Structure 1
């Protein structure tokens, strides 16, 4: 079967307009964003056929970073090479980035106003339900068999109670998955793919080339690391912009499983190590990011904005915008690197069975990490004061029972019922929760 582009190849201008439309409409998290791209690019425009779109999606699911943004980049790259991928990826990110930066500025300047506090109070409570819904969805997809369930539990204990570094958990899970496959205890999805091979008629720029590989790698590594080196040399390692660039570069390399998998680790580091945020502000940022188009990982722009506003030794708004720009650059430049360098070799990657099993194990570990995120968020939503106590090698949360917030619990439970039981629209649920929080604080 020859899988070619089903319709006429679009002009660069038409492709740009279409990806701008996708970027402006990309609400609802990765599932909704992927469905939107499928409807527009496959069903409506017929620029890509079903096998090619799904093949691109499978590859992007293997990558660190936001899979929907990388899928948009991949599809743009298929149509118009690197310039097409660059435009598609940027248009997927920039509308939401502009909105979250504006919301961050509003939060910084008027976040103390009672009406705004009420809005954020309701949002934070509802976000707990959003995280629980994500945990349920991911666990159903990822936990196939007892070994994967056990791995998720171990990952939860490692990050929640042993405080092990997130990258260490990801690497250990990948190694365990590869060993399980080599021992014949875990079957990867690659075995079934062997029977469904399709001979793609690929554009010239998608064919593997050693020269193209090394030139693309050199260019994008330069785009990533030269600004990082400049920050280190010009501002020093202790400056907030250098710290943000270094931290978010590391996040870009290990964020398998999307934004939810890394938020607890980011929150812990941003609050306890760097002092960029207060404990409950990560929830505020997540609530704001849920209401904007683009990948959920744009919540990191909120983190970078507040860190820059508070620690850059500039006017708060100027420092915040600088922090937002640094965060955007070092979070998303690596995403383009992964696609442009790796996509021509996607067939080879797809059929490396031990690698597929390793990444399946990473996905299972991500379930445990999201569970930790749900616990961390839940404690800080429902209790005004949460301490920690040591018990041997474990660090256990110790919420103050008297600080329990019944109103936050009611809003969180109502949002959870609406999302999980009645499949309500997420934006509508967040809006109602925000209104409830405003009403409570005002009246």
Structure 2
């Protein structure tokens, strides 16, 4: 197949980045619709194998998948263009929101909007953690999940548990803003296994507890904004960077967090099939999965403590009921945000 023009990659991947509301499932569905179903650029089996391999890598899987697909149809230049086109639309929106929401005194409507979404996001995070649980491996999940949930505080580097591996305890290495921010972004981009939600405990310990760049409520709002906006959930790191060091901090944290995804694909795409079928890699991920589930469920605890208004508990209850009724998470989050906004009218 002749390489796809970079202008086409820029347009199509930019469209997905701008319209990709709903998190990784929506992103992957849009990529598959474009590259497999409509254009026939990638074989269906190759697409599925590549996505499986991306899930074995640290960092945001849907971002890596967007880079892989662009690499597959337009080479290395396509990977860079497509990856950036996928990331930048959501980043711009997140920076605009951060500039308003992270003011010392944000507008009441903006604050309520974020608080409503933050209440709903607790239920969404719990659901994400429960989905990772494999009932066939109950004892492993009890042990690893308990460790993951208990240790999702300021000392977590990354959840790693596989056939004798255990969680690596993290010490507070830096006190200055920039070194600490760089280290946080490295953890998010290069050391986080288990999907986008694992970054929540990784960031919470630094952003709220260790460095105190954000309040619990501001962090919970940022997590919600990272899911309401299009593009990768990892955009939450831009809010943390903005809180730490303004616009330069947001841009630097985002660049550092996403760079490993480009490196992994540009260097390792040709090894994807071997990676996916490696028994050693599978054994490692079989162990990391339970701990990741525990970490995600544990991440709901600090998000829950950020709820301090009575109406937020009603939003949380409504969100839980909606998720049980199989309402899409993005709709639940938007509904929570609108409910929060409505409180400013009364």
User: Alignment partner for residue 110 of structure 2, among 116, 120, 124?
Assistant: 116
Match of 1:200 in 2: none
* 1:341-365 deviations in Å (ceiling 9; x for gaps): 1222223222220221111211221
User: Alignment partner for residue 416 of structure 1, among 288, 299, 320?
Assistant: 320
Match of 1:174 in 2: 162
8 Å Cα contact 2:101/2:111 also seen in 1: no
CA distance in 2, matches of 1:357, 1:174: 6
Q: Where do residues 317-328 of structure 1 align in structure 2 (5 Å cutoff)? A: 320-328=246-254
TM superposition shift of 1:143: 5.0
CA distance in 1, matches of 2:251, 2:315: 34
8 Å Cα contact 1:263/1:373 also seen in 2: yes
Q: Does residue 40 in structure 1 map to residue 34 in structure 2? A: yes
- Secondary structure of the equivalent of 1:46? coil
Q: Does residue 437 in structure 1 map to residue 340 in structure 2? A: yes
Match of 1:30 in 2: 24
Distance 1:14 1:113, change over 3 A: closer
8 Å Cα contact 2:17/2:231 also seen in 1: yes
Distance 1:111 1:63, change over 3 A: farther
8 Å Cα contact 1:28/1:426 also seen in 2: yes
* 1:372-394 deviations in Å (ceiling 9; x for gaps): 0112212322xx4xxxxxxxxxx
User: Alignment partner for residue 146 of structure 2, among 146, 150, 154?
Assistant: 154
- Secondary structure of the equivalent of 2:164? helix
TM superposition shift of 1:282: 1.1
CA distance in 2, matches of 1:48, 1:349: 19
TM superposition shift of 1:15: 2.6
Match of 1:300 in 2: 237
Distance 1:144 1:83, change over 3 A: farther
Distance 1:155 1:413, change over 3 A: same
TM superposition shift of 1:425: 3.8
User: Alignment partner for residue 266 of structure 1, among 203, 206, 212?
Assistant: 203
Q: Does residue 338 in structure 1 map to residue 328 in structure 2? A: no
Distance 1:117 1:24, change over 3 A: closer
Q: Unpaired runs of 5+ in structure 1?
A: 179-236, 309-319, 385-404
Q: Does residue 241 in structure 1 map to residue 206 in structure 2? A: no
TM superposition shift of 1:329: 1.2
Q: Where do residues 1-80 of structure 1 align in structure 2 (5 Å cutoff)? A: 9-80=3-74
8 Å Cα contact 1:177/1:360 also seen in 2: no
Match of 1:377 in 2: 303
Match of 1:131 in 2: 125
- Secondary structure of the equivalent of 2:103? helix
TM-score, normalising length from structure 1? 0.72
8 Å Cα contact 1:9/1:47 also seen in 2: no
- Secondary structure of the equivalent of 1:112? coil
Of structures 1 and 2, the larger Rg is shown by 1
8 Å Cα contact 1:65/1:255 also seen in 2: yes
Match of 2:77 in 1: 83
CA distance in 1, matches of 2:3, 2:202: 43
Q: Does residue 284 in structure 1 map to residue 221 in structure 2? A: yes
TM superposition shift of 1:177: 7.1
